[in-house]
Chains A and B, each alone.
Chain A
């Protein structure tokens, strides 16, 4: 069964460093998403991406964040200068279309900023 994959599973970085989280969505899916879950809190939407551009972003997704689909299979989330409060589990998801189909999630990348 096709699945969303994410690498790395755990990333430790120092405050102020740049990190890139990688995702490979399900191959025939057209919509891609990033969510994050701070420990003990709700899963929060960060950004959605379609046709090589951002469809929607939340207020969390500020200028420190960017997304890219560098090739036909990868979807990345970059955090330019990490802060302590960026420590969270980051989930990538993909879906066939925007509203009428379910979103499939990857296993997540745990980001720890020290």
Chain B
């Protein structure tokens, strides 16, 4: 079946690193994504990783993929208050995106 699991909440202090984790069930997915949703706003594509990679770095963002364990993580270095949002993990299944329930990141000054 198709399922993506994420923890619901994460709270960090400004300047710390945040790590948001995700597990998924579909091993055939080719792309995995991280989207960010700020309050009242749409889904902003943050970054993505191709399934034959195990790491991708993009400025403060690092995506790690463990395909064997079907585990994806997003690390945000030097987390800022502007990073407070809900972060969704998703994978592409034949064109449609399957989303996790989102992790609400709260950054305290």
**Chain A contacts to B: CB under 8 angstroms:** 31, 33, 35, 41-45, 48, 55-56, 58, 91, 93, 98-100, 102-108
Contacts and interface: CB of A to CB of B under 8 A. Distances in A.
Interface string B74-100: 000000000000001010101111111
Nearest to A101: B31
Main secondary structure of the interface of A (DSSP, over half): strand
Contact of A45 (B33, B44, B97, B100): B97
Contacts, number: 55
Q: How large is the interface on B (under 10, 10 to 19, 20 to 34, 35 or more residues)?
A: 20 to 34
A106 B45 CA distance: 11
Given A41-B101, A107-B41, A108-B42, A102 B48 contact: yes
A107 B98 contact: no
B10 interface: no
B98 A91 contact: no
Given A98-B94, A99-B31, A107 B42 contact: yes
Contacts of B90: 43
Nearest to A89: B42
Given A102-B48, A105-B35, A31 B42 contact: no
Contacts of B88: 43
Nearest to B99: A43
B68 to A, nearest CB: 22
B56 to A, nearest CB: 13
A42 B11 CA distance: 21
Contacts of A35: 97
Interface string B29-57: 01101010000011111001000000000
A65 to B, nearest CB: 15
A45 B30 CA distance: 18
Nearest to B96: A45
Given A99-B30, A99-B31, A56 B42 contact: no
Contacts of A31: 95
